[in-house]
Structure 1
Amino acid sequence: MRETHDVFAFAHIGDLHLEGGADRNADDLRAILAEIDGLYGRGLLDFAYLPGDLAEDGRAAQYAILIEALAAHPSLPVRLIAGDHDRQHGTMTDFDALFTQMMGSAQGGGHRAHDHALSKSGQPDPVPQYYFAETIAGVRCLFLDMISAGYGRKGFGLDFRLGPDQREWLRTELAAADRDGLPCAVFAHTYPDDLQVPEETTELAGLIRSHGVRLVEMGHTHYNELAHDGRTLYAAARSVGQNEEGAVGYAVAAIDGAVTSWRFKPLDQGLPFVMITSPADRRLATEPLGPGGTITVRALVLSNAPQAAWSCQAHVDGGPAHPMRPAGPRIVEAQIPWPDGAQRLTVTVADGTGGSDTETIEPVSCGFTPPPAPERPGSDAFRTEAWPGKGIRGDQLGPNRNGRDW
C-alpha cells in the first residue's frame, strides 16, 4: 500500500446486504467504488473499509457480486471484516472463501484467517477467526472479528463474541502500539456494548479507553452516528443495502495529529468534498485549543481536479477569507487569527469544475476539560445529537433501534 503520512484518511462503505447483481444496492456499490478508487488514485485516501454484513444471507452468489465489483478496481486497497449477516445461516464457509480470496491478495493486504480451537457446546471446536492488524499511514489499524466465536444464525438472534485468542492478541497489539508511539484505530462490526459476554464487553471497552484508541469505526447500526467519550470517537456509517435515513454514500474518517474527524459523503453530492481535520470540534475534542490568538487550520480535500486547481478559504464567524495552501497531497492549511469569543470556523473549497463544498465546526475552547469516563463505555449512550453538517440525523433509523424489521 502506498504510504502517505500527511494525514491518515479512509473511506467507509456501509453494510451492503448484497442479494442480486441487478439490485439498487449493487449499483450503488459500483458507483461508490468508482468514486473512491479515483480519489485513491490521486493520493487522497488510504483504503476502503467494508464493516461486515456484506451479503444478506452469507451466500457465495452474493459475495460474487462484491468480488466482481472489487475486481473492477484492482489497485484500490480494501479491508473487510465479517458481520452477523455473513453467517446468517449458521456457517461462514462462503465468507471464508471470500476472505481467503480478497484479503489474501495484494488488494486485501495479504491477510489470513487464524485457526483456533474454541469451546462450543462443551467441546473444543476448530474455528477460523478473521482478525488482523496493519500499520497504515502511521496509524496502527486493528480489524476485529466479533462473529466467528459466536453461535448466531438467522432466527436465533445476535451473538457477538471475541474469544480468548483474539482478546489476548488485542491486548498484545495495543501494548505494542503504545511502546511504538503509534495512534490506534479499531475496526469492528458493532459497539463493544453489543458483545454477548459481559466480561468481553468490559475488557474491550476498557482496553479502548485505557490505551487511548483514537477511533472505533463500525457498521451494523445502519445509520450515521458519532459517540465521543472524551478520548475515543465511536463512529457508525449508514447502510448501503438497507438504508432508511437518506442518500446513500460513504463516510470519510481521518486522524491528523491529535485530532480525529469524520464526515459523511452522499453519493448524490458531487465533488469536491472538504473535512476540517484541525482544530477539533467541541463535540469531538480530546484536549483544549492552544493559547494565543492564532490557530492552525487544516482540512482534507477530496477532488477529481489537480491540487493546483483547488481554491480553499477559511472564515471565522462569517468574517473575511483566509487563503489556505497545500500542506501535502491531500491537506490544505492556514494560520489564521482566532479572536477571543470566536465560535465558528468554516472552510470552503472550489476546484475549478463548477462545484464547491463547505464545512463548519465549533472549535473547542482553551478552557476545555475532557469529560469523565461514561457510565456505559463502549456504547451509544453518549452519542451526539443530530449534526446535519456531518450527515447525522440523530433518530437512529435502523433495525437495531428505531427502524424497520429487516
Structure 2
Amino acid sequence: MAPMPDPLVFLHVGDLHLTKPEARNAGDFREILRQIDGIAPKTAFDFVYLPGDLAEDGCAAQYRILTDALAAHPHLPVRLIPGDHDRQFGRMDDFRAFYADLAASRTVPAPTEWDLDRPPEHVAPDAEVWPVETVPHYCACEDIRGVRCLFVDIVSPGYGRKGIGLDFRLGREQTLWLNERIGEAVDEKIPVAVFMHAYPDDLREPDERLDIGGLFFEAGVRLVEMGHTHYNELAHDGHTLYAAARSVGQNEDGSVGYAVAALDGPVTSWRFKALDRAWPFVLITSPADRRVATRPATAENTGLERDAQGRIRVRAVVLSDVDPRYVHARAGTGAWHRMTRVSDRVYEVWLPWPREARTIQVEAVHPDWTGHGPDFVDTDVIAPVTEFDGPDVVALIPDKPGSDVPNIGAWTQKGVRGDQLGPNRNGRKW
C-alpha cells in the first residue's frame, strides 16, 4: 500500500491556575516545558496546547509567570485559549495584554474582533435591548498536517464574574464562523479537530449546547480537546472523541504531566505522559482501539486494511530525548517484529494478524535501559476492532451531544482513572 503522510501530533498541558512563581504548579509547568523542549527531533510534534485557566485570578502578575516560563523556550510552538479563570473578575484586560506580548515574541494567531450584544453591569438583565460591544475572540483556524484545527473561544463572549458561576458562550458571529469552517472541511474531506476549554454541553445557552454538539456529531469532527475538568477523560459518541487532560495547577488525578494526541489517517489516538516517567513514550496511532473507533467500524476507517500477505500496518509515535535503541510490536502474545522509522515522528511495521489476536502492543527501549526495571522502556497497548459493522449500522446521535455521557470510564493504559476527581464533578471545590 502507498505510504501514509505524517500524523498531526500535539501535546496538551492542562489547566495551569498559576498563582506565585514559587508555587508547586509553576515549578511543574517549567519542568514540563523543559522536558518537552528536550524531545528529539524537535519536529516530532506540531505544537503545545494550553486550554485556558492559565492564571488562577486572571491578573498580570500571574501571567508574568507564564511569560517567563515560555520565554525560556522561545522556539517551542504554542497555541492557547482563555478559560473561565482568565475572566475570573469579569474582565480580561490582563489576559489581552499578556497575549499581545506573546504575539510580539512568537507566532500565535491574532484575535478576531466581533460585535456582541452583551449587558454591562449597569444595564438591567431584563432590558429588551442590550448594547453592542466589540469583543476580541481568541479563536483561529489553521490547517496543520492536513487537519483543520479550530481553536474556539467560549470565554471572551461571556460576561461572568467570580462568584456568579460559569458563563461559557460562543456568540452569533463565532457560531457562524465555526459552522462555515467545519462545513468547508466536510466539503473538502478534511478531518477536523476542535480545541476549546470545556465540553459543548457546558455552554450557558441550551440552544448553543445542542447546536454545537449536533454540529460536531453530524460533521464527524474527529477530536475535541479540552481542559476544565481537571481530570483525564475520554468520551466517544461514535463519531467524535472528546478528550480532557488533568490540571497542572489543581490536580487530584495522579502524577502531573501532559497528554499526547494524534490524528493519523482515519484514526484518532490519545495517551497521557506523566512527568515523572522516564523517556521514551509510545503512542500507537494506527490501528484504532475499539473504544474510540469511528462507527460504522470498517477495515478502512479503523486502520485494519490488510496487504496481500494478510498483514496489517501498525504505526506509532515515539517521543524521547534520543533515538530509541529499538522499537518493536506484536499481535497478542505473538512474536515481536522490529519497527522501522519512516519519518521524524513515526515508526511502522507490517504485522501478521492472526484470527485469535485481541491486542496490539508496541514497545520502545531507551539506550539507557539496563535490561531490567520499568524505567527507560515504555509500552502502549490497544484492543483493535475484531468484527466490522454491517452496511446498515450507523452511529446514533446521543441524547446529550457534546457531553461526557458517553465517557468510556477507566482506561489505565491511557492514564484515565475514571473517577472524575475535580472541582466540576466529584473533587475538591478549590
Whether the TM-score (by the shorter chain) exceeds 0.5 is: yes
Whole-Å Cα distance in 2 between the matches of residues 396 and 17 of structure 1?
A: 18
* Shift in Å, 1:313: 0.9
Please identify the structure whose Cα radius of gyration is greater. 2
> Across the two proteins, how many residue pairs are aligned to each other?
400
1:58–1:86: 8 Å Cα contact kept in structure 2? yes
Moved more, 286-295 or 374-383: 286-295
* Shift in Å, 1:109: 2.5
Q: What TM-score do the two structures reach when normalised by structure 1?
A: 0.95
1:305–1:353: 8 Å Cα contact kept in structure 2? no
Selected match of 2:358 from 329, 343, 348: 343
When residues 404 and 314 of structure 1 are mapped into structure 2, their CA distance, relative to the original with a 3 A threshold, is same
* Shift in Å, 1:41: 5.0
When residues 40 and 98 of structure 1 are mapped into structure 2, their CA distance, relative to the original with a 3 A threshold, is farther
* Shift in Å, 1:63: 0.4
Whole-Å Cα distance in 1 between the matches of residues 118 and 162 of structure 2?
A: 21
Superposition map of 1:4-403 within 5 A:
6-39=6-39, 41-102=41-102, 104-105=103-104, 107-120=106-119, 121=125, 122-286=130-294, 287-289=297-299, 290=304, 292=306, 293-306=310-323, 309-354=324-369, 355-368=376-389, 371-403=395-427
Q: Report what 2:372 is aligned to.
A: none
Whole-Å Cα distance in 1 between the matches of residues 85 and 41 of structure 2?
A: 31
Whole-Å Cα distance in 1 between the matches of residues 305 and 144 of structure 2?
A: 32
Whole-Å Cα distance in 2 between the matches of residues 13 and 291 of structure 1?
A: 34
User: Which ranges of structure 2 fall in alignment gaps of 5 or more residues?
Assistant: 120-124, 370-375
Percent identical: 53
When residues 165 and 138 of structure 1 are mapped into structure 2, their CA distance, relative to the original with a 3 A threshold, is same
Moved more, 283-292 or 260-269: 283-292
Which digits, 9 at most, give the CA deviation of each residue in 1:255-290, with x for residues without a partner?
Answer: 000000000000000110001000000001013334
Whole-Å Cα distance in 2 between the matches of residues 264 and 344 of structure 1?
A: 19
* Shift in Å, 1:106: 6.1
Runs of 4 or more consecutive aligned structure 1 residues displaced over 4 Å after TM superposition: none
1:100–1:112: 8 Å Cα contact kept in structure 2? no
* Shift in Å, 1:40: 6.8
Matching residue's letter, 1:55: A
Aligned-residue CA RMSD in angstroms? 1.6
Q: Does the residue aligned with 1:283 lie in a helix, a strand or coil?
A: helix
* Shift in Å, 1:94: 0.6
Whole-Å Cα distance in 2 between the matches of residues 140 and 320 of structure 1?
A: 38
Whole-Å Cα distance in 2 between the matches of residues 105 and 325 of structure 1?
A: 41
User: Which ranges of structure 1 fall in alignment gaps of 5 or more residues?
Assistant: none
